[in-house]
Structure 1
Amino acid sequence: MASLYVAKQQLRSAMKNKLGAIPQESTLSQSSVVCNTLKTFKPYVEAKRVSVFLSMPTGEIQTDAIVRHALESGKEVFVPYLHKNPLASSDLPVRVMDMVRLDSMRDYEALEPDRWGIPSIDPATVHDRLRIFGGPDAHHSDKALLDLILLPGVAFDRDPDTGAIRRLGHGKGFYDYFLDRHKAKSMALGKQESSPVLLYGLALSEQFLSSPSEGSVPVGPLDQPLDGLILGNGEIKTPTGNKTAP
């Protein structure tokens, strides 16, 4: 596990330099392509409950237009909310992620940026929102599940042996733990086999490692493969090795 940690940190460091050199104009252009690709992408079109990450100002796909389109399309849009883990245990993360629903476009536009410049949910409003996990005050969270999760990442690739789409996150494990909990909840509700949540990464073209010379994404037993990856050049990478244009 120590060697896995070192490998991940080395790739994160290399990617930080690589992404820092991408002009903002390119980031915005690629973000527009990803949004337009999603508009006709069947898993997104058919999804009723969508989780969308809210972007950092630089270094990743900007999701503002995606959130707006999803809200305008009548989808239930959920965004990440980080909070202290209510379950105290040395085996569990201290901070965890839930997904909370945006009430409206006006609600979304009222979000204030955090210290990293990411629009964030006001903690004072959380208890009034529908959440995927929630607590005793969230009376409708017991049956809330997501259809589609659009994930960020630092780097992505395709496993040369299995064809799986691999993702390197930022190292906090928020999505790994959330996805484990979502799967457990889905199984408890008897929905895991009939309607599993779909996981699609959104990435700048530079974030996809297409050849061994660029490196590879190291993964461990807790890292979940993706159902696909949508790139800023319009490509949709799939686990089967297929590439399809929008």
Structure 2
Amino acid sequence: MERDHERREPEKSPVADSPPRVVVVADQERASRLLPGVVRAGNVTRFVLRVCVVVNMVAIPAGIVTSVTKGEPFFEGQEAWAEWGTTIYQSSQIVLLVLFAIVLPAFLVWVFGAYRVLGPLGAVGMRFSPTSAVLCFLVPIANLLLPMLVMGELWSASGPENPVAEPKKWRALPTPQTIRWWWLACVAYVATWLVAELLRRVTAPPLMIFRVEIAANMVNWVAAVLLLPLIHEINQRLRERMTRAA
């Protein structure tokens, strides 16, 4: 009986050829510790934003009254209306400045916390880290585009998909148009203030500069109104994701 000297190739398992499956186990305990702080930061941000909206709703009409009555006189008592409008508008601008000093840190704390909790909730493949997400709002030039990407990623990754079964499904989720409109209003706000500053440097008429500033208040109001539901909905999606990760 002759020996068979032929070497047989070992059969390959079909499992070995298949790509490895990514399994992400959500850290429910850590997420449950972090999420309440995120929600609180979001609620503080939304409260201050509501106040900003109300103050702008006072500032904008007062500014319009001032811009109209500071022109050529055409009715009796026009100067009194102009003085009233100027006082209200200038006071509201001081209030808005104080509110901005509060809402910006609160918003950045919320962004940082929301990104931080996504890891324990099983989201993988994030483009930004918690720190880099915050820096996107602070670094000049970069903050003209990257914040929109940050908010879009937050929205998609915070979705309530099961992170163990489908850890990367969030990448295919569409982002709402509200995010684009919100960021467009933010960029328009910055642009109008830059135009106002440019007009000051070329010694443009004060009334022209004032009207540009009123336009800035208008787009600032729009940005605040659009951001309010975004923060609420992302917080809600994070809660639902934690529930499904349990």
TM-score range, shorter chain: under 0.3
The higher radius of gyration belongs to: 2
Q: Per residue, is there more strand in 1 or in 2? A: 1
- TM-score, with normalisation over the residues of structure 2? 0.25
Higher relative contact order (CA closer than 8 Å, sequence separation 6+): 2
- Structure with more of its chain in helix, by fraction: 2
